[in-house]
Amino acid sequence: MSDSSTSDEDNNEIWVYYKNRKEWQDLRPIPQNDGPTPVVSIAYSQKFTDIYDFFRAVVNASEKSERALSLTADAITMNPANYTVWQYRREILKALNKDLHEELKYIGDKIKEYSKNYQVWRHRQIIVEWLGEPDEELELTALILNQDAKNYHAWQHRQWVISTYNLFSNELDYIEGLISHDVRNNSAWTQRYFVINHTTQFTPEVVTREIEYCREKILIAPKNESPWNYLRGVLLHADRGLQDPRVVSWCEQLHSLGCTSPHLLAYLIDVAVEAGQSGDQSGLERVLQMCKDLATTYDRIRRTYWEYIARTIAQSKNQDNNPSGESGSYPSTNRNEDVSTNEQGDVVTFPKDQVLNHNEEGKPETNCTENV
């Protein structure tokens, strides 16, 4: 195939290079400058090179025209992550006083095509800000999240729009639908925390409600980490924290019925460790056995971790029992140290790298909760 045309991969239309278009003959393309001795040159396609050579020429000439706007669309198709192209496109939109509703439609189509690209979402945010019209954003993000419930960019955009334009009113209902559909959707759990933190906040009444909500969801899948981490976040706002008697009593009951969820055992370990720090070491022997059970049976993939926790607890226990020794420092078993808020209370980070849903062997969870 000659240099003058090639088949467009997306729609099979004949592509004419910019260098061969009569309406672009007045502009001299500017090749990319990789220096005199590039170490690893990227093998750009002829089409890519042609488009970006002319884009550099347009920027160099500060041209803001209809043809320049069309050129940015081609450049974006070749590389939707190019920040400079998006920024220059916005400058053209302003210079030409273009219809931003049309641009909103354009970027909506791009988001559906490149939903995990930061720049497309950033462009969408700026256009919404210029228009001051967030009406379509919840529907758009819901559409993307229906395809991928953990799309970080969609969640970020959704949090931005509901907080900027105060669209919280129906968000808990939306989140409830997601969690009911998939109780392991940790992104939805994070969003639940975000919404409550920005609306009612965690008043004593809300804490009580959320503890009960967690209890219901934990009973569905006790080995699912998401509600356990959310529960820890809720207890940050309880008067007694992890020692909340409602939660401790229920978890002890769950354990007595034979539930061996690593997250349940980790919680009970932390409760006993906190008590030990306050001088009550009565539960530490049981904690050491729980660590052993986790290391050898229930959470073998983190065997070394639980052995370390057991050693640390034992050493601290021995130091506390030694009148001449200094008080020991007990560890926390919360492997997600990020269950907290930032200064504005905006973000709670839930599971980092643990795989949810399954026990170590990937078998279905045994039902140890029928009588709870």
Cβ within 8 Å of residue 126, ≥6 positions away: 90
Instruction: Enter the DSSP assignment of 345.
Output: S
Q: Which of 105, 116, 150, 352 is catalytic?
A: 116
Q: How many residues does this entry show for the chain?
A: 372
DSSP 13-72: PEEE-GGG-GGGTTS--------SS-SS-----HHHHHHHHHHHHHHHTT--SHHHHHHH
Contact 124, 107 (CB under 8 A): yes
Q: Return the C-alpha torsion angle 274, 279, 285, 289, nearest 10.
A: 10
- Please confirm, yes or no, whether 116 is among the known catalytic residues: yes
Name the one residue in this structure whose structure tokens are 């993939």. Answer: 301
Which residues partner with 15 through β-bridges? 6
Name the nearest CA neighbour of 175 among 193, 160, 163, 157.
193
Cβ proximity of 127 and 100 under 8 Å = yes
Neighbour tally for 329: CB within 10 Å:
10
Q: Would you state the torsion angle of the CA atoms of residues 281, 282, 288, 293, taken in this order, to the nearest 10 degrees?
A: -150
Q: Which residues are marked as active site?
A: 116
